[in-house]
Chain A
Amino acid sequence: MEGLTLSDAEQKYYSDLFSYCDIESTKKVVVNGRVLELFRAAQLPNDVVLQIMELCGATRLGYFGRSQFYIALKLVAVAQSGFPLRVESINTVKDLPLPRFVASKNEQESRHAASYSSDSENQGSYSGVIPPPPGRGQVKKGSVSHDTVQPRTSADAQEPASPVVSPQQSPPTSPHTWRKHSRHPSGGNSERPLAGPGPFWSPFGEAQSGSSAGDAVWSGHSPPPPQENWVSFADTPPTSTLLTMHPASVQDQTTVRTVASATTAIEIRRQSSSYDDPWKITDEQRQYYVNQFKTIQPDLNGFIPGSAAKEFFTKSKLPILELSHIWELSDFDKDGALTLDEFCAAFHLVVARKNGYDLPEKLPESLMPKLIDLEDSADVGDQPGEVGYSGSPAEAPPSKSPSMPSLNQTWPELNQSSEQWETFSERSSSSQTLTQFDSNIAPADPDTAIVHPVPIRMTPSKIHMQEMELKRTGSDHTNPTSPLLVKPSDLLEENKINSSVKFASGNTVEQIGSNVTRQRSHSGTSPDNTAPPPPPPRPQPSHSRSSSLDMNRTFTVTTGQQQAGVVAHPPAVPPRPQPSQAPGPAVHRPVDADGLITHTSTSPQQIPEQPNFADFSQFEVFAASNVNDEQDDEAEKHPEVLPAEKASDPASSLRVAKTDSKTEEKTAASAPANVSKGTTPLAPPPKPVRRRLKSEDELRPEVDEHTQKTGVLAAVLASQPSIPRSVGKDKKAIQASIRRNKETNTVLARLNSELQQQLKDVLEERISLEVQLEQLRPFSHL
């Protein structure tokens, strides 16, 4: 079906017609019977009607949705105007007169009896004379009055025309007021719920006369559209089916009647403000239901056992299967008993079913226990506001229903599947709170497709990474989110990358410092990096002291490693900028330069200490002072090494890998560090060599800059193991290399000492031999 453009008049007219046909108040589907009546009233040949139905798609869909209905109406107008029936004609034919629907009173009555069987309809067909409507507004008025009459007629179900007359006077006013309130079709439709109890009451009261009374009223105020006899919509008295319901409810009807009349205005107002809720229970209906409930169960808060309910509803002469379905729908908590709300819902469903409405697959929201308030007064404002659209007729038409249907669909399911029924069946709270509760539950239900944002920490900033690293290092990294879990690896990668980058940078100290900081931040996996990123490389050894306590600890740890006067063995200095140290060591110990250089090359931190290496005493000083700066030194050295050594990546990785062996490295590193500040990194030898070659030149200036580094190196090396992980992988690597270098240094130092010792011995022997020789020489002379 193509889009249908309607003029205002048409829109209004069609909506009224739709409301009229929408006896189920579904706002989405009109009863086929009614629609057929309407079309018959259009005085079109049957084949045309069939064609119209086909064109509008109703036959295809099996029901008349709003769109289909509108299209059908338009086609009726087209046909009545003599135009050929075509799908395009609904839009192409301009200035179509409104479709005319004419029907005699009898015909209407019969129709209503057959399909709708509501009292209100009877009203319409009462006189068959409909005062010409003042205009379009009359259309609504007609519908309004039509509906407003319904409750009245139902009230007057049993009374003759006299009572009808009285209401008759009111409708003329009420429709106006209604018109003001509801200028949209829903106004008419909202009254639909009344239709339900209307006819229902009549059967309950066995009041055929009521229908006639209704007719009178109806005729009194059913202004048809300009060209339309609204009367055609009038229905005949309810069918006998309804009459057989409850013969004993005459009194109830009376009560209901009075109530209805009293609450007519209220209902009108209420309904006008209500949404399209075909399943809403009006006050009169509810009162009636309550009365019925009392007959079975005097206590309104009590339950009706299943058996009693079964008997009661069996009287409605509905098929057991349908009653079973109604029970399934209404027994909200599935306890086999009906509370007042459940009973009202079931009753309402029975009423609707008797009127020809199809049972919904799911309990409409308005019928849900929580929505039905015990106090009728509270229903007024609550019901309308509670549900934008509740009805979910079995047909589930696709037309314009409020956005709640999905929620309504799921809600019953949820309710029935959840274990919160006691809340609903309590009915103790007002509908307001119930509504709130409902609304609270509904969104919270996962089935409602409400997505709760799952907090996932995305890539954190450096700080976060550091924190993560800290956490990771400190605890067992129960990272809350996977990204965090992934972080370590990422960080490792990053660290390596960073280190490489840094190595490549070969920049100033500041940069190095920044790099160091970055490294530390990234080196989440660095086991030793637990402290915050150390400050940039400090030119003064004293500065390094304030870096962290770990330096002291490491210093003490590395104290044992001290050998050959090497004090604070720098924590496993990464095999990085050993070049800076290499020159130093090379200067002092060319022998060991190679190894040491390699060491130093990989331990950037040693580079800065290079100048200090020359002075062992300085080492001590540095060691002491650098204990604190170890971490910083490492960090600093790392960056130093980084810039100096690009290839220190593997070194850092190695260092990282050798984190555990840092102490060893320290030892080894300390030795070489001691020997030659640039404790040759145990890392890839080629790098150190290279480093030595170039680092010497490069690092010399760095060395100067990092004079402190020597001490720092020592400190770093000493504190290698305790360097906070936050320093970064590079640092760890550096530390590891430092450690290695230290170890190497130690070994070499030992070796050196031994060799020297041997030398001494040898010299002594030589001397002794010479002495002996000389002693023997005189003899030779002899």
Chain B
Amino acid sequence: MAVCIAVIAKENYPLYIRSTPTENELKFHYMVHTSLDVVDEKISAMGKALVDQRELYLGLLYPTEDYKLCRYGYVTNSKVKFVMVVDSSNTALRDNEIRSMFRKLHNSYTDVMCNPFYNPGDRIQSRAFDNMVTSMMIQVC
């Protein structure tokens, strides 16, 4: 269950961040922020491959008392990072699902990019993107 989805630009500022539980948003933001370091670390570690298409960072980085929050990372070729916080209480092993979710995210992001009215670097305000993210967050729940 994706509780939080964030799109981070290359400069590590958020382009889009959304969480399902309206409360604890700040906590999710913080978690995403901390995970950025890990993502950067992984990116730099990947010397041979230019860019790791799908970087799956499964980490109980922050197992709270309620649920284990697994942060997954995904980096595009343009160093745009997708971070997803997933509540792994129901399904622990859903690597493929995570990958598909990231793929969808990536596709929607490219669609947003294709919009000439969208200036790269702006916050993503596309309704279609929102809908897609919402559907992901709801469906997985």
Which residues of A come within 8 Å of B, CB atoms? Answer: 306-307, 309-310, 313, 320-321, 323-325, 327-328, 331, 334-336, 361, 416-417
Contacts and interface: CB of A to CB of B under 8 A. Distances in A.
B127 interface: yes
A328 B116 contact: no
7 contacts: A321-B125, A323-B117, A324-B117, A327-B116, A328-B128, A331-B114, A361-B131
Contacts, number: 41
Contact of A325 (B107, B111, B114, B126): B126
Given A306-B116, A324-B118, A334 B111 contact: yes
Contacts of A417: 107
Nearest to A321: B125
Contacts of B126: 324-325, 328
Interface in B107-141: 107, 110-112, 114-118, 125-128, 131
User: Which 6 interchain pairs have the tightest Cβ spacing?
Assistant: A306-B116, A324-B117, A310-B116, A336-B114, A327-B115, A323-B117
A590 to B, nearest CB: 70
Nearest to B135: A413
Contacts of A323: 117
Contact of A361 (B107, B112, B125, B127): B127
B125 A328 contact: no
B103 to A, nearest CB: 11
Contacts of A361: 127, 131
A420 to B, nearest CB: 15
Given A327-B115, A328-B127, 13 more contacts: A307-B116, A313-B117, A324-B115, A324-B126, A328-B111, A328-B112, A328-B115, A328-B128, A331-B115, A334-B110, A334-B111, A361-B131, A417-B107
A321 B115 CA distance: 11
Contact of A320 (B111, B112, B117): B117
Q: Which of B107, B118, B125, B126 has the most CB of A within 10 A?
A: B118
Nearest to B114: A336
Nearest to B117: A324
Interface string B87-116: 000000000000000000001001110111
Contacts of A331: 114-115
A335 B107 CA distance: 12
Interface of B: 107, 110-112, 114-118, 125-128, 131
B136 to A, nearest CB: 13
A416 B118 CA distance: 18
A53 to B, nearest CB: 28
Nearest to A335: B114
Contacts of B110: 334
Contacts of A324: 115, 117-118, 125-126
Contacts of A335: 114
A334 B117 contact: no
Nearest to A318: B117
Contacts of B128: 328, 416
A287 B107 CA distance: 34
Contacts of A334: 110-111, 114
Nearest to A359: B127
A361 B132 CA distance: 12
Contacts of A306: 114-116
A361 B114 CA distance: 18
Contacts of A310: 116-117
A410 B17 CA distance: 26
B140 to A, nearest CB: 17
Contacts of B131: 361
Contacts of A307: 116
Contacts of A416: 111, 128
Q: Which of A323, A328, A417 has the most CB of B within 10 A?
A: A328
B108 to A, nearest CB: 9
Nearest to A361: B127
A410 to B, nearest CB: 12
A361 to B, nearest CB: 6
A109 B2 CA distance: 52
A128 to B, nearest CB: 42
A309 B115 contact: no
A309 B114 CA distance: 12
Nearest to A324: B117
A336 B115 CA distance: 6
Contacts of B115: 306, 324, 327-328, 331, 336
B101 to A, nearest CB: 14
A309 B117 CA distance: 9
Contacts of B114: 306, 331, 334-336
A422 to B, nearest CB: 15
Contact of A327 (B107, B117, B125): B117
A25 B135 CA distance: 29
B110 to A, nearest CB: 8
B127 A309 contact: no
Nearest to A327: B115
Nearest to A322: B117
B39 to A, nearest CB: 27
A350 B81 CA distance: 33
Contacts of A313: 117
Contacts of A309: 116
Nearest to B104: A417
B60 to A, nearest CB: 32
A32 to B, nearest CB: 21
A773 B128 CA distance: 121
A324 B112 CA distance: 9
Contacts of B117: 310, 313, 320, 323-324, 327
Q: Which of A313, A324, A335, A416 has the most CB of B within 10 A?
A: A324
A415 to B, nearest CB: 12
Contacts of B127: 325, 328, 361
Q: Which of B110, B111, B116, B118 has the most CB of A within 10 A?
A: B116
A313 B128 CA distance: 20
Contacts of B111: 328, 334, 416
B65 to A, nearest CB: 38
B91 to A, nearest CB: 22
A324 B116 CA distance: 7
Nearest to A323: B117
Contacts of B116: 306-307, 309-310, 327, 336
B100 to A, nearest CB: 12
A408 B141 CA distance: 26
Nearest to A328: B128
A321 B125 CA distance: 7
A614 B125 CA distance: 98
Nearest to A360: B127
A334 B128 CA distance: 12
B51 to A, nearest CB: 22
Nearest to B131: A361
Q: Which of B110, B112, B125, B128 has the most CB of A within 10 A?
A: B128
A356 to B, nearest CB: 19
A348 to B, nearest CB: 17
Nearest to B124: A324
